[in-house]
Chains A and B, each alone.
Chain A
Amino acid sequence: MTQIIFAPGIEDEGGLPVMIAGIITGNLEAKPERQNDFNALNGNIYMRAHDAYVDMTMVFEKGKLSVHSGKVGNPRISICTDSETLLDLANINIKFGLPHYFDYAGLAILKKLFLTRELEIKGLFAHPIMLTRFTKLMSCR
């Protein structure tokens, strides 16, 4: 059973934090093999949908996740983009246990990351394993 805790008031407000937590919960139920990735994550991941003016922090503690509005602590990874691209991140395919960036969905993400800069990920090079594990947790594919 995945342990996800919401900071007070967040569940009633809904929005980005509840959606992302819902995606992670649903994915772990449908793909229990990703539980190892969840259990291994340790540290904060920050997300911001700049066009919707909403942000959130996920605090992973080796098998536990607490979800907060806004920025909490000093995130190892920060993901900042528009609402649509944030949801596109959940459509990255996983092949052989790793995110696959060489299909339509993956290439669109790479283009936004390296060419158009519509997607900004801080910690991409400093914490690649953490990012890979998180991408797997987020992927609905």
Chain B
Amino acid sequence: MPYTFGTPEWEEAFKKLTQERIATQPRPFVVFSPEWIGEWEKYVQNDAKYKELAQPNWENPVILHMLKNPALGVDQDIYVKLDLWHNGECRSIRYIPNTAVGQPGDFVVTGTVERWLAVGRKQLDVTKGMMQGKLKLKGDLPTIVKAVKSSVRIVETVGEVDGKFPDELTPEQTEAFRKVVQDLTKEFNIT
């Protein structure tokens, strides 16, 4: 039986899985794998630059939406939610199902895997990417524009956590990554 998203059991099981994989998987972790998400969460939680730029009363989650690309082991769209709170606190970073996306107050940044890899490699500036439509932003624009620098900082951190990008994997590693995502999808009900 898959865990039901949003329940304490889901949260506990996800944390356990992440910790196990952090302890057992070879480094560098694959970017956007569960173990990498765990590392990224710690990084954002301790990021002094983000804390400095963040709004004291910020309460809006930011969701990064990666469009599927089966050739790179991503068979379905992936949504990763950063639960951001007052004074630069990052309460958690979690995969979420598409049914949980689009709540009032959510900001969703959508891009192809290639665009996210370009952001991660610092080849694509986040603000320019949004202006060019390479990254698409959904949500209440005036709210996010007031916090544009902190929002950009959050997305920039994707490239600062040590990781192996999906296009750097061998075919065997790509298949292994695909299986991890598929298993995660089933077990944690995040389709």
Contacts and interface: CB of A to CB of B under 8 A. Distances in A.
A105 to B, nearest CB: 10
Interface residues on B, range: 10 to 19
B133 A86 contact: no
Interface residues of A, number: 25
B136 interface: yes
Classify the interface of chain B: helix, strand, loop or mixed: helix
B142 interface: yes
Contacts of B146: 90-91, 140-141
B141 A15 contact: no
A1 interface: no
Given A15-B133, A16-B132, A91-B148, 6 more contacts: A15-B132, A15-B134, A19-B130, A83-B131, A87-B127, A90-B142
Contacts of A86: 131
Name the residue among B127, B136, B142 with the largest chain A CB count within 10 angstroms.
B142
B142 A26 contact: yes
Interface string A12-49: 01111011001101110010000000000000000001
B118 interface: no
Nearest to A86: B131
